[in-house]
Amino acid sequence: MINREDMLELTRRMTPARSHIDRIAGAYYDAEGYIDGTFNTHFLKLFTAEKTKNLELAKAVLQAETNKQLKDYRIPETGRKPGSIWQLLDGIKESGLQNDAFLDLLYEMIGERVAPGKESYCFLFHGMYDVPVKGTDKEWQEGSEEVYNYLLCAVGPLEGEYEPGLPEAGFLYPAFRQRSTACNYINLYETAAYQNLWNLLWK
């Protein structure tokens, strides 16, 4: 089960001034799911308005209805084998979105499964959150417990030319559970429009 407070802790720091996101990359798809363009840039180089707009997409995934639209999923040991989707996600995360071959492979896999008949997008965010120490009285203290290195994905329809609408699917990998990295879990987000996206992707 996802603890709502864990998600709120991440999103509270997703502002242009405080964001722990360091890089953003993405792909745009035509109505048939073919890649129509990609981008990859350092997040801090964006203008404030662009940062704000993209952070709203990232936050929309984490602020979805907890344990209904945004759910915990345990990754089976059998699924973490070489050549698996999980190995690909690890590679993308560890490269900080700077391995284009890994990104292209994931874009193609998602493009084969995005909602047909819609122009869509897939945005990926890489972040490193320095998890602050929280005392027994629940007050923040100086120092950090760990650095949470994560990959966040948002998928949804385009509302105009390269203009993303609110995400209708996404994930947070690895999951953030009990204020810590949970390597064997992923948080999956999906609405009715993309209900089978992730089930198909993990097969």
Distance CA 114, CA 32 (A): 9
E strands within 47-139?
Answer: 70-74, 120-134
Q: At 81, is the pLDDT very low, low, confident or very high (cuts 50, 70, 90)?
A: confident
- Nearest-5° angle of CA 137, CA 142, CA 147? 105
Answer yes or no: is 136 within a domain.
Answer: yes
Per-residue pLDDT, 116 = 77
**What are the pLDDT digits (tens) for 38-71?**
999 999 999 999 999 999 999 999 999 999 999 9
Domains of the chain: total: 1
> Which pLDDT tens digit goes with each residue over 164-180?
999 999 999 999 999 99
For range 115-134, the mean pLDDT: 91
Q: For the residues 8-29, what does the mean pLDDT come to?
A: 95
In which residue are the tokens 């509270």 written?
12
Q: Do 163 and 156 contact (CB within 8 A), yes or no?
A: no
Q: Beta-strand (E) ranges in 63-202?
A: 70-74, 120-134, 140-160, 163-164, 169-173, 175-177, 180-182, 185-190
> Residue 99, SS3?
coil
Tell me which residue range forms the domain holding 29.
2-195
Indicate whether 18 belongs to any domain.
Answer: yes
In a domain, 200, yes or no: no
Query: Which DSSP state fits 50?
Result: H
In a domain, 110, yes or no: yes
Tell whether the model's pLDDT for residue 142 goes beyond 60: no
Residue 202 lies in a domain: no
Binning pLDDT at 50, 70 and 90, where does residue 117 land? Answer: confident
Q: Is residue 89 part of a domain?
A: yes
Does 173 map to a domain? yes
